[in-house]
Structure 1
Amino acid sequence: MQKTARMAGFLAAHGIWSVSDGEALIPLFGYQDTNGDRAMDRLVFDDIADAAKAGQEALRTGREDWVGAVLVADGYLRSDARRIDALIIDVVEYLPTRQSMRMAIPYRPQPQGFAVYRPKFLEVPGRYESDQSGLAESFFAGVDSHEQAAAVWDAHLIDQSV
């Protein structure tokens, strides 16, 4: 799951970069195949919700040559009685055994002044439940590997949870 978590960090950083200017995020879908090749696609549909559904279906079915795949879509978290904007990151590792993870990157959109809050693990594979530090380390290595997006993330990071 470490390599797939790193890819998730890279795509999440790209997503944060995309929403930092106030635009809606076109869902991002990335995968790594058994040859080590990676690809990223924007899921362009007439309706963003349909694009996210297509990404969920691609994660569900996978392909036999995929090691892992990641979907980043704009969404919301619920806290008390309020909705919080967040990028929702769904991660599936297919090989050697199928396991999945879900994260959220809460953010404050423009025009209130763009800000990024600490990521949240929403679901993790069973063996990582007691110690998520390795996944977090891999995720942030992926964030940092996207230099332009990491600069935006770091410049707008508010070190608090929402």
Structure 2
Amino acid sequence: MDETGRRAVFAALLPLCFGMLSTTCARADDTPNPCDALKRVLSAAPNFSSLSAFDGRAIALPYGDDAKCAASQTNYRCTWTPRGGSSADSLQGVAADIASCVPDATHDQNSPARQHFYLGARGARTEITAAQAGSNKLTLEIYGSR
């Protein structure tokens, strides 16, 4: 195919690529967003049973590839192995994500082994705990009492 033919094919396919909503064309913004995942999980409180294991997985993806999440009626929990660096560094990163994604949350515990946030008044709170789980795991648990 000559250069003119290649240009014609490219010109014909380009609008299809950008116009389609399917995943046939990769885009830079296709990466799962931790904030969107966190907000989706928080919006389900206090009953998390409508969520799937994948709804909150993106919260952990910046910090580990093996996140295993589960939803129950009373909580949403993810556990993963931190990628590179220390568990404490990953835990601080998760806490920073929570603080920036949910600015209304109160951050009432900040230690190298545990981060705790809450939303709402006593008796109607949604709580977020990120903590070290053993020497090489992190866990994130969101639970509510609304």
State the TM bucket, normalised to the shorter chain: 0.3 to 0.5
> What TM-score do the two structures reach when normalised by structure 2?
0.36
Which protein, 1 or 2, shows the higher relative CO under an 8 Å CA cutoff with sep ≥ 6? 1
Larger radius of gyration: 2
> What TM-score do the two structures reach when normalised by structure 1?
0.34
